Amino acid sequence: MVVTKTVLGLDLGTYALKAVELRQGLRGLEFVQSQIAARAAEEAGLSEAIRQFAESHTLNTDHVACAISGQRIAHRRLEFPFRDRKKLAQAIPFEIEGSMPFNLDDLIVDWQLLPGESSLGVVAASAAQKEDIGVFLGEVDDADCCPRVLEAEGMVLGNLAALYDLPGHCLMVDIGHEKTTFCLCVDGQPVAGRTAPVGGKALTKAIAQDAGVDLDEAERIKHGNDLLGSESGGAGPAAAAVLERIAREFIRSLESLDPTGASLLDRQTCKLVLMGGTAKLEGIVPFLGTQTGLSPELIAPPEDPANAALTEGYDLVLSGPALALALRSTGQSLTALNFRKNEFAYRSSYAWLVGSELRPTLALVGVCVLLLVAVGITSVRLEASRAQQLERQMSSRYAAIFPNKPPPSLPMAALAQDVSSARERANFLGLYGGNLSALDLLTLLSERIPAELTLKFDEINIDQNVIRIKVAAQNYEAQDRLENVLKAEPVFAQADVTGSAKRLKDGSVTFGLSIPLNQAEDEI
């Protein structure tokens, strides 16, 4: 029996593909591998990039979790005066439709219930167009990397909170290549997400504009200099504008994501945890701290040793979103959004049955099946041999009982039929103790009647209990003599010759004779 599964978190960035593979077993989670592959500008498309990435690093694609771009998702925080999930499932789509310029039939809506009062239903709902989901799934399916989970970018970052002790408010931020995604966690639970369309790519273009170089050179400048340091002269006007825009998106998120309606800028205990390639740029962390008044920090390994083991051996700042996606497919998941619904629902492939993890189990199952077949065949043969032996024994017994008859093909059935016939004859003839039948009694009666005693038996009736005979005699003396004869014979001790005596016109006498057949052994 397989008690483990391997899950893959696949972060499909426009600058690089990142993957984190975990194995979940009875003892918890184990780290398998983490891989990063930069995407060349001249690559044909996402499908081919994913295929080459998975094949070159032998990634397990049985349980894949991906996230659709936050720029393609609308997030809503909704409140209802009830928490019943069935009622919420009916009400949420209509609330979403009322706030969006799309028909409900063109949307996939998913949601998760947030912690709160028992009488109030607060949900984080997300909606995406079916067209966008179909395009995304088509690309990953073409790469033979079909995800079981399609999460919402931003909210999925909240799964990282499962590895940390995060009391209060914490804003997790992924500053990526084309966009920046935010996820607010309150007391360790993700409650809101947001995506802003600005990231490292905009900064690279700004640097190229300021320095008059191509994008490749601008990328080297971005990673090789402290853009905000005094030694480099500070960022150019275009780069500064992009950095200020990123800072404004931080402030906008801090002001809008607090579910209480307050601003997170006023919460000095609010944590800012940064990840993503742009977050590694020198000087950007203190710059964002100055702009927000908070103390941002790059994501670091957890303090708990077991959780820290899941982050060892790779750059957590770059692969944090991929780790969050991998956690989404495990028992430690904190988010529940999945756009694989309705016509996009995941359809299981049973190719995993021949995977390397199941091969030993399948081999054992095959051996067990062969043993069961062998046991079944042996049992059938033994039973057949026993049946044949019994048939031979019964044939011999039948030949001994009926020496003048040839043994039949079915001796048991023939014996049963003969016993039934004998029982019918015994019932008819009234067989009883002493092996005397009704016929034997009549024979004995005829032998005991003297020759000079003229009697005529007009009627004889035999049933199971008695023989009834209607006797005609010359006179009453003949009746008395017959009674004396019967009394002299023990077997006729209970015979009755006194019933229904009549004298006929010719002077003869008729009377009834009853001989019981249910006599006891000691009376015979």
Distance CA 486, CA 358 (A): 93
In the structure encoding, which two tokens stand for residue 517, read together? 């057949």
- In this structure, of 123-132, 262-271, 472-481, the range with the lowest mean pLDDT score is 472-481
Confidence of residue 170 (pLDDT cuts 50, 70, 90): very high
Distance CA 482, CA 450 (A): 9
Q: Per-residue pLDDT for 261 more than 50?
A: yes
In degrees, to the nearest 5, what angle opens at C-alpha 220 toward C-alphas 215 and 222? 90
DSSP code per residue over 398-435: HHHH-TTSPPPS-HHHHHHHHHHHHHHHHHHHT-BGGG
Q: For residue 29, list its beta bridge partners.
A: 24
Q: For residue 186, list its beta bridge partners.
A: 169, 189
* pLDDT, tens only, 439-457: 777 777 777 788 777 788 8
H or E segment and range at residue 462? strand 455-462
Q: Which one has a higher pLDDT value, 464 or 7? A: 7
Q: Per-residue pLDDT for 350 more than 60?
A: no
* pLDDT, tens only, 51-77: 999 999 999 999 999 999 988 999 888
Distance CA 458, CA 446 (A): 14
Confidence of residue 433 (pLDDT cuts 50, 70, 90): very low
Confidence of residue 204 (pLDDT cuts 50, 70, 90): very high
Q: Per-residue pLDDT for 232 more than 60?
A: no
| Structural contact between residues 316 and 277, judged by C-beta atoms closer than 8 angstroms | no
By three-state DSSP, how is residue 329 classified? coil
Strands (E), 228-345: 271-275, 296-298
Q: For residue 20, list its beta bridge partners.
A: 9, 34
| Structural contact between residues 481 and 513, judged by C-beta atoms closer than 8 angstroms | no
DSSP 387: H
In the structure encoding, which two tokens stand for residue 9, read together? 């978190």
Q: For residue 514, list its beta bridge partners.
A: 468, 496
* pLDDT, tens only, 366-381: 899 999 999 999 999 9
| Structural contact between residues 162 and 185, judged by C-beta atoms closer than 8 angstroms | no
Going from the C-alpha of 192 to that of each of 42, 87, 221, 274, 324, the distances in angstroms are 36, 22, 35, 16, 15
Mean pLDDT of the chain: 85
Highest-confidence segment of 229-233, 298-302, 471-475, 520-524: 298-302
Phi, psi for residue 466 in degrees, rounded to 5: -155, 150
By three-state DSSP, how is residue 167 classified? coil
- Give pLDDT, residue 464: 66
Distance CA 475, CA 478 (A): 6
Q: Which one has a higher pLDDT value, 119 or 5? A: 5
Q: Per-residue pLDDT for 144 more than 60?
A: yes
- Give pLDDT, residue 521: 45
Strands (E), 50-106: 63-68, 73-80
Confidence of residue 11 (pLDDT cuts 50, 70, 90): very high
Percent of the chain with pLDDT over 70: 89
DSSP β-ladder status, 5-12 and 63-68: parallel
Q: Among residues 124, 268, 117, 116, which one has the least CA distance to residue 184?
A: 124
- In this structure, of 201-215, 288-302, 404-418, the range with the lowest mean pLDDT score is 404-418
- Give pLDDT, residue 202: 94
